[in-house]
Amino acid sequence: MDSIKLLQRLVRIPSPNPPGDTRAVADFVAERMRAIGCIVRQPAPAAKPAARNTIAILGEGAPRIMLHAHIDTVPVAPVEAQNWSVDPYAGIVRDSALYGKGSVDDKAILASMMLAMADAARQKSLKGSLILVAAAEEETGGQLGTKWLADKGHLPLCEFIIVGEQTGNKVATAHKGVLRATVRTAGVAVHATNPDRGVNAIVAMGKIIQALQRYHQDLSRVLHPVVGVPTCNIGVIAGGSTANAVPDACAIQLDRRMIPGESPQDVVKELGAVVAAVDLAPATATLGNFVYSSWFDSALDGDYAATFMDCVRAELAESPGPIGYMPGSDAKHLVDIARGDMIIFGPGSYEAAHAADEHVKLADYASSTNILKAFLRRALYAAEAEA
C-alpha cells in the first residue's frame, strides 16, 4: 500500500460523529485487512448499527499485541467550514503535509497501523497475535464503540496495547478523567421595579462561581508527573428570562478534570462541600447531572514498553517520553483487557485536530509507521528480522 494514497483514501471517506456512521470507513479497513490475510470481524451495537467497528487479526495465540485507532471524526462545524483553505475531505497534500478532516485525528495513525499490519503479514515467523481495532464512537465517549466492544467480549486480553492518538510520536502513559456536573440555584421571581422583594438566583449563583474558582485554584497544589494538575472549569451558564424580572432559576455546567488516582466519588463529595459551604439563604442550590469518564495511567515497566521506547528513541533521535496526553482517549475503556502496559502514541498534535485546516506532516506520519514496524519486528518476529 502506498502510504500517502492510503491516508488520502481514509480522509476521503467522511465519518463525522454526529451522526457517527462509520460503515463506509470500517468496510474500507476490513477490505484492506482481508486482502493481506487477516481474519476480520465487524461488530456493531444493536442500539446503533451504523457505528460499525472493524477488528482484524493476524496470527494466533499469545503474546497478543493490539493496535487501536478510532475511525470517527468530529464534524465540520459551520463556522469552521468557512475557515478551511481546502476541501476538508479531499486529502490535499501541500507544504509536506496532508490536509483533511480526520487527517491527524485519527486517520494518520490508523493508516500507520494498517501499514504495520501489512508488513507483519509478509513475515513467515510471526509469533503470537497482532490485532487491529478500528473503533467507532470515540468522539462521543466510546460508550457504543470501544467500551461496548470490551464489555461484549469482542476484544481479547492483550500483553501490550497501543492506542493511536496525537502525541508527537512520543509515548504517552496517562490522561485525565472528566466529571461533569450541573449546579442549579433557585430563588423567587418578582418584578424588577422592587427586586428586594424577591430572591435572585443569578446573584446566588455568582457566589457559587466564586467558590468554585477558589476551589479550582486550590487544586493546583496537587501535581501528577505527566498530566499536571486537576482543574475545575465553568463552561455554561443560563438563567433568567428578561432584564425587568428577578430570576428564580440559574444553572451552570462545570467540567472537573481528574488526574490519575482521583476517585469520582470523592470529587462529587468535594464539589458538594464547596456548594454547601456557600451562604445562599434564602436561595437554595442543588448539584447533580453527573457524567463521568475515567482517567488512564500505565506504569510503563514491561519489556514491550521498553522495546517500544527504544524504537521511538532510534527513530526520533531524542527522548521518547513518557509524556501525558491532555485530551481523553479510548485507553480508559481498555484497562481491563490490558495484561501488561498500554500506551498512547501517534503523529502530530491534538491542537491541530477539531479545527480548520486539520493536517498531519508527512514526515511525522512516516515516522509513526517506521516506529510501529520496527517495534513489531522486534516484538513478534525478531528472529526473522535479525536474519
Distances (CA, A) of 274 to 72, 181, 204, 290: 38, 13, 14, 16
Q: Which of 382, 383, 311 is nearest to 343 (CA)?
A: 311
Sequence-ordered list of residues with C-beta below 8 angstroms from that of 125, at least 6 positions apart, any chain: 381, 383, 384
pLDDT value of residue 243 = 96
Percent of the chain exceeding pLDDT 90 equals 94
Supply angle C-alpha 79, 102, 5, rounded to 5.
130
- Specify the range with the lowest mean pLDDT, choosing from 4-8, 27-31, 252-256, 327-331: 327-331
Give 170-229 pLDDT, tens digit per residue: 999 999 999 999 999 999 999 999 999 999 999 999 999 999 999 999 999 999 999 999
Residue 2 has pLDDT above 70, yes or no: yes
Mean pLDDT of 103-110: 98
Give 294-341 pLDDT, tens digit per residue: 999 998 889 999 999 999 999 999 999 999 998 889 999 999 999 999
How many whole angstroms separate alpha carbon 357 and alpha carbon 126?
A: 40
Mean pLDDT of 278-293: 96
> Which CATH architecture best describes the domain 177-293?
2-Layer Sandwich (3.30)
pLDDT value of residue 382 = 60
Dmax over CA atoms of the chain, in Å, equals 89
Mean pLDDT of 33-46: 98
The secondary structure element, H or E, covering residue 208 is helix 201-219
Mean confidence (pLDDT) of the chain: 95
Q: Three-state SS for 324?
A: strand
The position carrying cell 519489556 is: 303
pLDDT value of residue 301 = 87
Residue 384 has pLDDT above 60, yes or no: no
Superfamily of domain 3-175+295-386: Zn peptidases (3.40.630.10)
Residue 115 has pLDDT above 80, yes or no: yes
Burial (CB count <10 Å: 0-12, 13-18, 19+), residue 273? exposed
Q: Which of 359, 363, 369 is nearest to 8 (CA)?
A: 359
Mean pLDDT of 234-259: 97
pTM of the model: 0.88
Listing DSSP states for 276-315 in one string gives HTS--TTSEEEEEEEEEE--EE----SHHHHHHHHHHHHH
Domain ranges for the chain: 3-175+295-386, 177-293
pLDDT value of residue 142 = 94
How many whole angstroms separate alpha carbon 221 and alpha carbon 54?
A: 43
Distances (CA, A) of 212 to 49, 219, 234, 256: 41, 10, 8, 10
Q: For residue 147, give the amino acid letter.
A: K
Q: Three-state SS for 145?
A: coil
Residue 30 has pLDDT above 80, yes or no: yes
Mean pLDDT of 273-277: 98
How many whole angstroms separate alpha carbon 309 and alpha carbon 53?
A: 29
How many whole angstroms separate alpha carbon 43 and alpha carbon 60?
A: 20
> Cα 292 from chain centroid?
14
How many whole angstroms separate alpha carbon 348 and alpha carbon 99?
A: 12
Burial (CB count <10 Å: 0-12, 13-18, 19+), residue 243? exposed
